[in-house]
Structure 1
Amino acid sequence: MLDPTLSQWLDAQALDLDVGSGDSQKVLSWLAAADVLRVGVNQLEGGNGKTIADAVEVLAQIASCSLAAAFVFCGQRTFIEYLIKSPNKALREKLLPSLLDGKLAGATGLSNAMKFLSGIEALLVTASSTEKGWRVDGRLPWVTNLRRSGFVVAAAVEGTRDGRPFILAIPSTLSGLKRSDDLQLIGLQSTNTAALHFTQLDVNREWLIHDDARVFLPALRPAFLGLQCGLAIGLARRSLMEVEVRIRGNRSVLAETFHEQRRRLEHLVSDLKSGLLDGRFVAEPTALFCLRIAFSESATNAVNLELQASGGSAFLSGNSHGFARRLRESAFLPILTPSLVQLRTELQRQGGEAVVWRPAAASRVHG
Structure 2
Amino acid sequence: MDGAGPVLRGTGTASVLERVRRRVSNELKPEADRIDREGHYPLATLQGFGADGAFALHLAGHTPLARADLWAAIEAMAAIGSACMSSAFCAWCQDACGWYLENTANAALRERLQGGVASAALMGATGLSNPVKALSGIEPFNLQGKKVPGGWRVNGVLPWVSNLGEGHVFGTIFQAADDPAHKVMGLFTCGANGVSIRQSAHFVALEGTGTFGIRFRDAFIPEEDLLADPLGGMARRIRPGFILLQTGMGFGVIEGCIEAMQRPGTGSGSSNRFLPDGPAELCDRAAALRDTVAALAATPHDPSDDYMRRVLEARLAVSELTLAATQSAVLHAGARGYLIGSGVHRRQREGVFVAIITPSVRHLRQELAGMARN
Q: Deviations over 1:141-190 (max 9, x none)?
A: 11111123x11111111124553212111122421112112631111111
Counterpart amino acid of residue 288 in structure 1:
V
Per the alignment, residue 189 of structure 1 pairs with 207
Per the alignment, residue 211 of structure 1 pairs with 229
Q: Deviations over 1:201-255 (max 9, x none)?
A: 1211001101232411111111111111111111012112222334974433348
> Tell me, what secondary structure is at the counterpart of 1:164?
strand
Does the CA contact (< 8 Å) of 1:27 and 1:72 recur in 2?
no
1:23–1:196 distance in 2 versus 1, CA, 3 Å: closer
Selected match of 1:152 from 163, 169, 181: 169
Which structure 2 residues correspond to residues 36-115 of structure 1 after superposition, within 5 A?
Answer: 36-42=54-60, 44-45=61-62, 47-48=64-65, 49-115=67-133
Which structure 2 residues correspond to residues 309-320 of structure 1 after superposition, within 5 A?
Answer: 309-317=332-340, 319=342
Cα root mean square deviation, aligned: 2.2
Per the alignment, residue 335 of structure 1 pairs with 356
Shift of 1:272: 1.1
Does the CA contact (< 8 Å) of 1:17 and 1:24 recur in 2?
yes
Q: Distance in 1 between matches of 2:35 and 2:357?
A: 18
1:221–1:255 distance in 2 versus 1, CA, 3 Å: same
Q: Distance in 2 between matches of 1:95 and 1:323?
A: 38
Does the CA contact (< 8 Å) of 2:282 and 2:325 recur in 1?
yes
> Tell me, what secondary structure is at the counterpart of 2:132?
helix
Counterpart amino acid of residue 334 in structure 1:
A
TM-score (norm 2): 0.86
Q: Distance in 2 between matches of 1:203 and 1:340?
A: 33
| Unmatched runs of 5 consecutive residues or more in structure 2 | 1-16
Counterpart amino acid of residue 270 in structure 1:
D
Q: Distance in 1 between matches of 2:276 and 2:364?
A: 32
1:208–1:2 distance in 2 versus 1, CA, 3 Å: same
Per the alignment, residue 324 of structure 1 pairs with 345
Q: Deviations over 1:45-65 (max 9, x none)?
A: 465444011101111111111
Shift of 1:308: 2.3
Counterpart amino acid of residue 298 in structure 2:
L
Which structure 2 residues correspond to residues 134-173 of structure 1 after superposition, within 5 A?
Answer: 134-148=152-166, 150-162=167-179, 163-173=181-191
Per the alignment, residue 273 of structure 2 pairs with 252
1:14–1:308 distance in 2 versus 1, CA, 3 Å: same
Per the alignment, residue 356 of structure 1 pairs with none
Does the CA contact (< 8 Å) of 2:169 and 2:189 recur in 1?
yes
Does the CA contact (< 8 Å) of 2:152 and 2:221 recur in 1?
yes
1:239–1:282 distance in 2 versus 1, CA, 3 Å: farther
Selected match of 2:326 from 298, 303, 311: 303
Q: Distance in 1 between matches of 2:359 and 2:131?
A: 10
1:85–1:297 distance in 2 versus 1, CA, 3 Å: same
Matched, 1:132 2:158: no
Q: Deviations over 1:266-319 (max 9, x none)?
A: 111111110121347642322222222211111111112112222222223364
Greater mean alpha carbon deviation, residues 8-17 or residues 32-41: 32-41
1:195–1:27 distance in 2 versus 1, CA, 3 Å: farther
1:24–1:9 distance in 2 versus 1, CA, 3 Å: closer
Q: Which of structure 1's runs of 4+ aligned residues deviate more than 6 A?
A: none
Per the alignment, residue 6 of structure 2 pairs with none
1:167–1:256 distance in 2 versus 1, CA, 3 Å: closer
1:199–1:62 distance in 2 versus 1, CA, 3 Å: same
Q: Distance in 1 between matches of 2:108 and 2:156?
A: 26
Tell me how many residue pairs correspond in the alignment.
349
Matched, 1:290 2:313: yes
1:101–1:316 distance in 2 versus 1, CA, 3 Å: same
Q: Distance in 2 between matches of 1:83 and 1:318?
A: 39
Does the CA contact (< 8 Å) of 2:33 and 2:341 recur in 1?
no
1:280–1:176 distance in 2 versus 1, CA, 3 Å: closer
Matched, 1:262 2:283: yes
> Tell me, what secondary structure is at the counterpart of 2:46?
helix
Q: Distance in 1 between matches of 2:119 and 2:212?
A: 23
Per the alignment, residue 299 of structure 2 pairs with 278
Greater mean alpha carbon deviation, residues 175-184 or residues 268-277: 175-184
> Tell me, what secondary structure is at the counterpart of 2:208?
coil
1:218–1:280 distance in 2 versus 1, CA, 3 Å: closer
1:45–1:241 distance in 2 versus 1, CA, 3 Å: closer
Does the CA contact (< 8 Å) of 2:338 and 2:345 recur in 1?
yes
